[in-house]
């Protein structure tokens, strides 16, 4: 889908950015690397991840590459195209916003991972290098990192006493595995980027949302969804990528391109996952402080047992969905969970 063609604001912003980049003499002794980002400034990607990476890049290149961060350039799904088209040099996005393109990293989204975002993100990078890279799903881009947000939880306007309470409720879905969960939970999925969730809840367009706990704070969901139900291990994980224009890297001195790569990859993936985990802790604390009804479910809760039963078979469904990719998907999923759980055991 070409989001640029459907969003005049995005097109206008992109044109101005492109003109600015073209006229600024990027390939010079002092090069500006333009990063595009979305979600509110309070999101961990914007408070921690991109700013930290910017510092790493500037330090690794001895100041020859300066990172500039630009906000709100269009629909989050358009960021892949913005980087591919050279409008911005780097960005990030959610795989589920572009259905059918990034199927392999969605392995990490399957229910049952039961680990932190830090462990999942680290493992996803390793498994991508070992199993997924050969499928070249990121053609036209160079990966900087792969990551997940923290365990996806349930934020609702009304209390959820049983999974039956969700039937026919309008729940915002970001795509990816959330779409399958919506079908199995018998809810009415409403597709929208995360940046629109507050508005949709406020206007009564949706009754709830699947999102990590940190969004209760960063999106001020306490004001519009005063019920937060926490499932052990979460309902799912959401997968993202951070990426850069390979032609931009080629335009740099080789030592600077390699310097940027040296502070990306597994190191950046781990940092990103950790930032989301820390934000989740703050999100739950914030929810309680604001008077949100926070319900922490145990493994023995009927809602958890029912959810586990509803999600049976999803692993095999994902394996079959990527059968044409030429990878051993079953082994990749097995390795992903093993690496993530080993990492968590060693770092807790």
Tell me: the pLDDT tens digits for 241-265? 999 999 999 999 999 999 999 999 9
**DSSP state, 86?**
T
Buried b (16+ CB within 10 A) or exposed e, 109-141: bbbebbbbbbbbbbbbbbbbeebbeebebbeeb
Of 143, 96, 129, the C-alpha closest to 238 is: 96
H-run or E-run covering 230: strand 227-230
* Radius of gyration, alpha carbons of the chain: 20
pLDDT band at 172 (very low <50, low <70, confident <90, very high): very high
Examine the pLDDT at 233 and tell me if it is beyond 80: yes
Taking 80 as the threshold, does the pLDDT of residue 192 lie above it? yes
Pick the CATH number of 152-236+289-347 from 3.40.190.170, 3.40.190.10, 3.40.718.10, 3.40.50.2300: 3.40.190.170
- Return phi, psi of residue 278, to 5°: -65, -35
- Rounded Cα–Cα distance for residues 129 and 239 (Å): 16
Quick check: 245 and 84 in contact, CB under 8 A? yes
As a whole number of angstroms, the distance between CA 36 and CA 265 comes to 18
For residue range 291-329, list pLDDT tens digits in order: 999 999 999 999 999 999 999 999 999 999 999 999 999
Task: Yes or no: say if 220 and 41 are a contact pair by the CB < 8 Å rule.
Answer: no
Task: State mean pLDDT over 257-275.
Answer: 98
Cβ burial of 285 (10 Å; 0-12, 13-18, 19+) is middle
In which element (H, E) is residue 288 found?
helix 265-289
DSSP per position, 188-220:
EEEE--GGGHHHHHHTTS-SEEEEETTHHHHTT
Contact yes or no for 95/242 (Cβ under 8 A):
no
Backbone angles phi, psi at 263, to 5 degrees: -105, 20
User: What pLDDT is stored for residue 107 in this prediction?
Assistant: 97
Least confident of 11-20, 110-119, 163-172: 11-20
pLDDT at 175: 83
Chain centroid offset of residue 290 CA: 26
Confidence of residue 140 (pLDDT cuts 50, 70, 90): very high
Q: What strand order describes the sheet that includes 188-191?
A: 188-191, 170-173, 208-212, 152-156, 227-230, 293-296
**CATH code at 3-149+239-278:** 3.40.190.170
What residue ranges of the chain are covered by domains with CATH 3.40.190.170?
3-149+239-278, 152-236+289-347
Torsion angle in degrees (nearest 10) through CA of 267, 134, 331, 95: 60
Distance between CA atoms of residues 242 and 282, nearest Å:
24
Average pLDDT, the chain: 91
What are the C-alpha distances in Å from 255 to residues 10, 140, 243, 252? 33, 22, 19, 8
């Amino acid at each position: 889908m070409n989001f640029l063609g459907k969003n005049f604001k995005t097109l206008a912003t992109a044109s101005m950015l492109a003109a600015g980049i073209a006229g600024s003499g990027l390939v010079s002794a002092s090069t500006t690397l333009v990063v595009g980002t979305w979600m509110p400034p309070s999101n961990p990607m914007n408070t921690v991840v991109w700013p930290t990476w910017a510092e790493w890049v500037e330090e690794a290149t001895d100041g020859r590459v300066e990172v500039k961060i630009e906000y709100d350039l269009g629909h989050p799904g358009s960021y892949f195209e913005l980087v591919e088209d050279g409008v911005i040099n780097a960005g990030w996005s959610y795989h589920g916003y572009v259905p059918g393109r990034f199927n392999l990293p969605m392995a990490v989204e399957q229910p049952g991972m039961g680990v932190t975002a830090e462990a999942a993100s680290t493992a996803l990078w390793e498994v991508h290098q070992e199993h997924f890279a050969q499928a070249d799903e990121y053609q036209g881009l160079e990966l900087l990192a792969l990551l997940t947000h923290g365990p996806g939880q349930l934020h609702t306007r009304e209390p959820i006493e049983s999974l039956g309470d969700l039937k026919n409720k309008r729940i915002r879905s970001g795509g990816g595995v959330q779409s399958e969960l919506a079908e199995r939970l018998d809810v009415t999925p409403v597709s929208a980027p995360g940046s629109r969730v507050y508005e949709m809840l406020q206007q009564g367009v949706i009754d709830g949302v699947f999102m990590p706990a940190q969004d209760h704070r960063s999106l001020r969901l306490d004001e519009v969804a005063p019920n937060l139900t926490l499932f052990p291990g979460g309902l799912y994980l959401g997968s993202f990528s951070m990426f850069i224009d390979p032609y931009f890297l080629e335009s740099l001195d080789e030592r600077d391109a390699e310097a940027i790569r040296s502070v990306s990859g597994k190191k950046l993936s781990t940092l990103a996952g950790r930032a989301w985990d820390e934000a989740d802790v703050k999100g739950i604390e914030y929810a309680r402080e604001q008077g949100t009804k926070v319900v922490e479910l145990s493994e023995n809760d009927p809602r958890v047992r029912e959810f586990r039963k509803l999600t049976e078979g999803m692993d095999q469904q994902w394996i079959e969905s990527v059968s044409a990719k030429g990878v051993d998907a079953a082994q990749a999923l097995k390795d992903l969970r093993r690496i993530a759980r080993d990492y968590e055991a060693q770092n807790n």
